[in-house]
Amino acid sequence: MNNKVLFKLNYGMYIVSSKAEEKFSGCIVNTVTQITAEEKPKLIVAINKGNYTNSLVKESKKINISILSNKADMLEIGKFGFRSGRDSNKLEDIEYKIGNNGIPIITENVVGYMECDVINIIDSGTHDLFILEMQDGEFLDENLTPMTYEYYHNVIKGKTPPKASTYSKEK
């Protein structure tokens, strides 16, 4: 089987964040999908079980999703994609605001955001799939272009962290 065919699927780049009590974390994901468009749209997001953000989402049952734009750089992506919130303050030196759900929303180099409640969790091996119900969402700058995973790899020259849902060991 040639897993590289999966590299041709389209993905975006997102920062998902959560907070439980006074603990905050966020991580980069490329697997966010809208699954319904009803009054309260449903989405799905995949987060590696080893990510601190995963445990906070499970605890709080709330998650915010910031849609990264092509203006985001490796410093911002690295802060959320290659460090753990267990031992670093990911909000330090980054623009954010507090959402209606009390969770920080990253606003720097972001097209828009969604605030969601977790309505179901599906164990999918290395990752949990969080089924979400959108409670709020806004554009921050409709003129920005959302970053794709392809842009991240080909233009920014970013690498895929081992905890990413699209990570594949080269054979």
Write out pLDDT tens, residues 79-113: 887 677 777 787 888 999 999 999 999 999 999 99
Can you give the pLDDT at residue 72?
A: 92
C-beta atoms surrounding 128 within 10 Å: 20
Write out pLDDT tens, residues 31-65: 999 999 988 999 999 999 999 999 999 999 999 99
Ordered domains of the chain (ranges, CATH): 11-154 (2.30.110.10)
Residue with tokens 């972001």: 110
**Tokens at 55, concatenated:** 């445990």
Rounded CA-CA distance 2/125 in Å is: 20
Instruction: Give, for 122, the enclosing helix (H) or strand (E).
Output: strand 110-124
**Exposed / middle / buried, residue 70 (Cβ in 10 Å: 0-12, 13-18, 19+):** middle
